[in-house]
Structure 1
Amino acid sequence: RLARTWLPVVGAILLIALIAALSWWGYQSWQTSKADKASVAIERGFESLQANNTVGADAAFAQAAKEGNGAYKALALQLRAGIAADDNRLPEALALLDEAAKASRDPEIADLAAFKALWLAMDIETLEQVQARAAKLTGDKRPYAAFAQEAEAMALLQHGKAKEAKDILIVLKNGLDTPELISNRAEAALGAIDSGSAANLQAIVRQMAAAQATAAAAPAAPQPAATPQPTAAPRP
């Protein structure tokens, strides 16, 4: 009687487990298929770019964004944004980057797209809008927090707010968690502002780039591999 009582229940449980397993296998296969299709489309897009066929490249990247999973979709949308930015279609490029930032739950992927959007927004949005974008990237343990703070400082300088920019740059220069590259650039920017040798944002950025080049040329001990991070205003 025990078997007759519980066998249907156990059978039903096993059936549910089997359905769940098959569903997961089907989902994984579907995801793999989507990734394969997106990969092929992205490769075709790069081939079109090499042939200076931006229309064909954009179409291929659009297909990859439609077919791909989160990571491939984010990549494809960023590539489309790059084409739009090169064609001076900045609002469209910004919209594509915003969409890319929402395509993946991985903060390394999502925040990189949002960081690119932050730099692009400096040319077409208000300071308040740019600061709102930066604030979303500077939370605890966000992968590009220091880079976003640096971008906000540049936006403040762009709008003539040197004091507010200096406050951010001082924190970046002295922060224990600040990447060395960002710390060096912050120090260069502070020196340029305080000395008066850099009267505008472009001159400050040039001095920061010079500091970056000097740091890159200096010999350093081998470091373990790490996740690549942006080193300057990124290309969409």
Structure 2
Amino acid sequence: MVDVFDEVEEQLRSERYQSLAMKSLPWLGALAAVAVIGVGGYWGWTSYQTDQANKASESYQTALETAQKQGPDKAFGQFKAVADGGANGYKALALLQMGDIRLDQNKTQEAVGYFDAAAKASPSPVLGDLARLKSAFALMDTASYKDIESRLTPLAGEKSPYRVYAREAMAFAKLQAGDVAGAR
């Protein structure tokens, strides 16, 4: 008689497990589908980003080669194309090149605009600080001391890789403003 009760109890337990499995199976399937879609989406996104960076790299390299072979003026449009559609790192590099070209053409305000845009677009603080430093250097002859100081003060901090250049430029700006004692 005990065997009959055990058998019935085992059958009831089996039915409960089957019922639980049938209720949870759709949820487990959905969870697996979400995981597969998530992994596929991540892989697709990283692949897309890599492809975009590779295209920007090739375009930037072509612009550099054009600048070297035909002159910077001929490469300006190519750098602009990289800046308009490139990944942020290459966008910042292209904007820096564009600023340098305009600076060589004595178009200081336009160059400063490109340097400032490069600082904003840069994904790297070091590259952004370089753009800010170039911007301050470009304005050295035309801007007021206060403007130069406001641009260079963040770069003169102890942890800044450009602190020596920033401090030197601030001293030079003080000399230009007539503050010889402050420049020392």
Q: TM-score, normalised by structure 2?
A: 0.79
- CA distance in 1 between partners of 2:89 and 2:118 (Å): 9
The code of the aligned residue for 1:144 comes to Y
Aligned to 1:16: 34
Q: TM-score, normalised by structure 1?
A: 0.63
1:153 correspondence with 2:171: yes
- CA distance in 2 between partners of 1:126 and 1:117 (Å): 13
**Uncovered stretches (5+) of structure 1, i.e. residues with no partner:** 167-236
How does 1:75-90 map onto structure 2 within 5 Å? 75-90=93-108
Residue-pair matches, total: 166
1:93 correspondence with 2:106: no
Percent of matched pairs sharing the same residue: 37
Aligned to 1:208: none
- CA distance in 1 between partners of 2:133 and 2:124 (Å): 14
CA RMSD, 1 decimal: 2.0
**Uncovered stretches (5+) of structure 2, i.e. residues with no partner:** 1-18
The 1:161/1:42 distance shift into structure 2, 3 A limit, reads same
How does 1:84-233 map onto structure 2 within 5 Å? 84-139=102-157, 141-166=159-184
1:25 correspondence with 2:43: yes
The 1:12/1:157 distance shift into structure 2, 3 A limit, reads farther
Mark the structure with the bigger radius of gyration: 2
- The answer to whether the 8 Å contact 1:61/1:76 transfers is yes
- The answer to whether the 8 Å contact 1:35/1:67 transfers is no
Which of the pair is proportionally richer in helix? 2
- CA distance in 2 between partners of 1:7 and 1:156 (Å): 75
- CA distance in 2 between partners of 1:88 and 1:41 (Å): 26
**Per chain length, whose mean CA-contact separation is higher, i.e. which structure has more relative contact order (CA < 8 Å, sep 6+)?**
1
